[in-house]
Amino acid sequence: MTGIRLERCGKTFDDGTRAVAPLDLEIAAGETIVFLGPSGCGKTTTLRMIAGLEAPDPGGRVLFDDTDVTLVPIERRNVGMVFQSYALFPNMSVAENVAYGLRVRRVDAEARAVRLEEMLAMMKIGELRHRPVDQLSGGQKQRVALARALAVRPRVLLLDEPLTALDAKLRDVLRIEIDALLRRLGVTTVYVTHDQAEAMALGDRIVVMSHGAVEQVGRPREIYFTPANRFVAEFVGTMNRLRGRARDGHLEVAGGRIPWRSATAGDVEVLFRPERARVVEAGAGGLAGRVLTSFFLGDRTRLVVEGVSDAPLIVEAGAGQQFRVGEPVHVAIDPDALLTLAR
């Protein structure tokens, strides 16, 4: 297993745009790390630097274990890569695609056949072996792409938005499968996505990026519960915002007041997750507001409540409760859940 180290890896394109500000990052052997961020945040460029498809700006170094591979082209880095568009070869069948890496490495025919069978079985695509790749569904293409990348026993597996082109249901199924696969193989994996649910589910650690810079690196729970800044808080999951005035141990907002434990006084802005607030009976200490809309989600009901603060709040309630638009409600917020974050 191979660890990866990025040292001062930045990328400025020929036209002068800076895609990635110099960053340092250590990825442990066997770890699955997810680069998460909106499009254009530099996550794919960072992945491409690890792959060897982009060279970092002078001064940056990429190390696999302790070997400097900065100048090693991708074809000699021994990486496995899955592209968003899969990049399967249209002139080859499924089996030929999967065995391609072994063929260019001049693995002998017998060993090649054995490995091919292993891969087809592992990805459950044995019956597709003779199919041309343009006759495969999106999910099948994804499996072939994974089998092809893994067939060469890569030192690191690199996945660039592998599920983005699939529909929601298939995405869930494949996400679970990929997760199980990565745990079983224990291969060092770098996964790029803009989908925070994928990042949460797959990542041992998540690197949140925006505008070419790393905003936070941490385990999924850290990213979710203790976001380092407002960008991370708002990009990962849903965040509510309360604006009010803090004084005498209370935070006063339009809908009432709640206990305030921070020493900060005056005008403040705090954030909290929807699941840290509940709808309570009147008089139970909740903040008063009115239902703007409510969505029944099957397992729960999501309410949009206005009047508590300047912006509407999103609050969750049990599936059994029903609400009318305009109905007055009271929202109790867990005081521990309030976050004060810098922009």
Partner 1 sequence: MRRRPRRAGWFYAQLAFTVLVAAFLVVPVVMSITAGLTVNFFQGVKSGLTLRWIGEVWRLYRETIVLSLTIALACLAVDLAVGVPAAYVLAKARSRWTRLIEEALVLPIAVPGLATALALILAYGTWREFRTSWVFILVGHVLFTLPFMVRAVLAVLSSIDLRTLEEGAASLGAGFRARFFGVVLPNCRSGILAGALMVVTLSVGEFNMTWMLHTPLTKTLPVGLADSYASMRLEIGSAYTLVFFFMIIPLLIGIQWAGRK
Smaller CB distance to partner 1: residue 36 or 150?
Answer: 150
Mode of pairing for the β-strands spanning 18-27 and 4-12? antiparallel
Subset of 52-71 contacting partner 1 (CB under 8 A): 53
Site string for partner 1, 5-34 (x = CB under 8 A): ------------------------------
Beta bridge partners of 208: 36, 216
Tell me which of 18, 29, 61, 83 binds partner 1, using CB under 8 A: 83
Which range binds partner 1 by CB under 8 A, 78-86, 113-121, 208-216, 275-283?
A: 78-86
CA angle 41, 85, 191 (to 5 degrees): 50
Minimum CB separation of residue 105 from partner 1 in Å reads: 5
| Total Cβ atoms within 10 A of residue 110 | 8
Smaller CB distance to partner 1: residue 160 or 215?
Answer: 160
Instruction: Specify burial of residue 33 (Cβ count, 10 A radius: 0-12, 13-18, 19+).
Output: buried
Tell me which of 17, 85, 226, 340 binds partner 1, using CB under 8 A: 85
Q: How many residues bind partner 1 (CB under 8 A)?
A: 25
Smaller CB distance to partner 1: residue 155 or 330?
Answer: 155
304-317 burial code (b ≥16 CB/10 A, e <16): bbbbbbeebbbbbb
Minimum CB separation of residue 52 from partner 1 in Å reads: 8
Q: Does 101 bind partner 1 (CB under 8 A)?
A: yes
How many whole angstroms separate alpha carbon 343 and alpha carbon 228? 10
SS (H, E, C) 262-284: CCCCEEEEEEECHHHEEEECCCC
Smaller CB distance to partner 1: residue 51 or 305?
Answer: 51
Site string for partner 1, 123-162 (x = CB under 8 A): -------------------------xx--x-----x----
Smaller CB distance to partner 1: residue 97 or 216?
Answer: 97
Cβ contact 143:97 at 8 Å: no
Tell me which of 16, 39, 66, 76 binds partner 1, using CB under 8 A: 76
Which range binds partner 1 by CB under 8 A, 75-83, 128-136, 179-187, 324-332?
A: 75-83
Tell me which of 29, 87, 201, 217 binds partner 1, using CB under 8 A: 87
Residue 72 has which token pair?
Answer: 């090693």
Subset of 179-238 contacting partner 1 (CB under 8 A): none
Cβ contact 18:175 at 8 Å: no
Smaller CB distance to partner 1: residue 50 or 206?
Answer: 50
Binding residues (CB under 8 A) for partner 1: these are 51, 53, 73-76, 78-81, 83, 85, 87-91, 100-101, 104-105, 148-149, 152, 158
